[in-house]
Amino acid sequence: MASTSIPPLRLTLTKDLPPNEIPSTLRFLYAACRLDGTCIGWLPFQAYDVRHAQGKILVLHNNDDLVGFVMFSGNLFFCEMRCLQIWIRKDARLLLHGRALIDELDRLSWPAGYRTLRLWCAIDLAANIFWTALGFRYRGWRYSPGKTDRRHVLWMRKISPPSRPLFQSQTWPQLALHPATLSSNRNQIAAAADKE
């Protein structure tokens, strides 16, 4: 029986990358919204450049292969860390990768004074299953700020101090979201939103 081991993951803020890796990393970020803009939304390149300069983009490497990122901001008045975009390459979409990005965001948030992690997710995306699996709670919905009538779900989760983590990352299996379960879960989320 073959043993399964967790591959070496490397999480880095883009501002802390070696200078020779920054141009290719920024091209990866630019391409993400062009490839999957219906899922993560479209932003101009300048938005990524500004967040990069502020140290507000976290990238994930798996065996030195760039597989995903999370762009974030914070609001200390509300003690909220806001996940603006999170994206994993389609060929690398495992719970392990998204989980690692959110865990690192949690780790960075507590010392900075943030106590809640918040994000918006379009109601028709499979990512809503991911957010519930990570302990996020449904807090309402809104129509898209864009030109469509697409609804977005507000997900929130308390950030726990490093001494008392909500979850142990090492115990989570490496699972891809199974397409057969997506439609039923999507319907449950839509039904909850309709009750309001």
Domains and CATH numbers, the chain: 9-194 (3.40.630.30)
Please report the pLDDT score of residue 5 as a whole number.
59
Burial label, 67 (beta-carbon count in 10 A; 0-12, 13-18, 19+): buried
State the average pLDDT over residues 24-53. Answer: 84
Q: What is the mean pLDDT of the chain?
A: 81
Q: Report whether pLDDT(54) > 50.
A: yes
Which pair of tokens denotes residue 84? 């603006």
Between CA 131 and CA 135 the distance in angstroms is 7
CA distance readout (Å), 9 to 29, 61, 66: 18, 6, 10
Within 10 Å of residue 155's Cβ, how many Cβ atoms? 23
Phi, psi of 31 (to 5 degrees): -70, -30
Q: Which residues contact 34 (CB under 8 A, 6 or more apart)?
A: none
**Angle of CA points 34, 116, 177, to nearest 5°:** 50
State the average pLDDT over residues 44-49. Answer: 88
The pLDDT tens digits of the residues spanning 147-168 come to 777 888 999 999 877 766 555 5
Please report the pLDDT score of residue 173 as a whole number.
37
The SS3 of residue 49 is helix
Query: What percentage of the chain reaches a pLDDT higher than 70?
Result: 77
Q: How confident is the model at residue 195 (pLDDT cuts 50, 70, 90)?
A: low
Please report the pLDDT score of residue 93 as a whole number.
79
State the average pLDDT over residues 38-55. Answer: 85
The pLDDT tens digits of the residues spanning 103-152 come to 999 899 989 999 999 999 989 888 899 999 999 999 999 887 767 778 88
Give the closest residue to 54 by CA, choosing from 65, 46, 44.
46
What is the pTM assigned to this prediction?
0.76
- Is residue 169 within 8 A of residue 98, CB to CB? The reply is no
The pLDDT tens digits of the residues spanning 58-113 come to 999 998 889 999 999 999 999 999 999 998 988 887 778 889 999 999 899 989 99
Give the closest residue to 79 by CA, choosing from 157, 178, 168.
157
137 against 187, higher pLDDT: 137
- Is residue 127 within 8 A of residue 186, CB to CB? The reply is no
